[in-house]
Amino acid sequence: MFAALVTGLGMGVVEASIASEIMLRAPEPLHDRALGLNVAALFLGPFLDPWIVAPLAAKGGILFAITVIGVAYPGASVGFIVLAVQRRSSGAILS
């Protein structure tokens, strides 16, 4: 129960912070599209979760699935950091 409370509070704060940052960075005509993409990204994970975890768990068990996903997250974060640095150095904001 405590973990659900902490997770809910954390997601509430994170979602509001991300939405605020998006509103600051996106040009005004793109506010609706930028916030729509934000909401879609927030719900895409839970939507795709069964389609990704179930085959991995069937192949090697739940521990295997968690390990594969746990290794994929740092790899994806490095990729996003590289992409952000490239965009920042080229001057692109939302392209």
Q: For residue 43, tell me if it sits in a domain.
A: yes
pLDDT band, very low/low/confident/very high, at 63 (cuts 50, 70, 90): very high
Torsion of CA 93, 78, 59, 3, to 10 degrees: -80
53-62 mean pLDDT: 93
Note whether 13 and 80 are within 8 A (CB): no
Helices (H), the chain: 2-25, 31-60, 62-90
Q: For residue 46, tell me if it sits in a domain.
A: yes
pLDDT tens string 2-52: 988 998 888 888 888 999 999 999 999 999 999 999 989 888 888 888 899
Q: For residue 95, tell me if it sits in a domain.
A: no
On the question of pLDDT at 89 being above 90, the answer is no
pLDDT band, very low/low/confident/very high, at 74 (cuts 50, 70, 90): very high
Q: What is the tally of structural domains in the chain?
A: 1
Q: For residue 73, tell me if it sits in a domain.
A: yes
Residue 61: which domain range?
2-90
Q: For residue 54, tell me if it sits in a domain.
A: yes
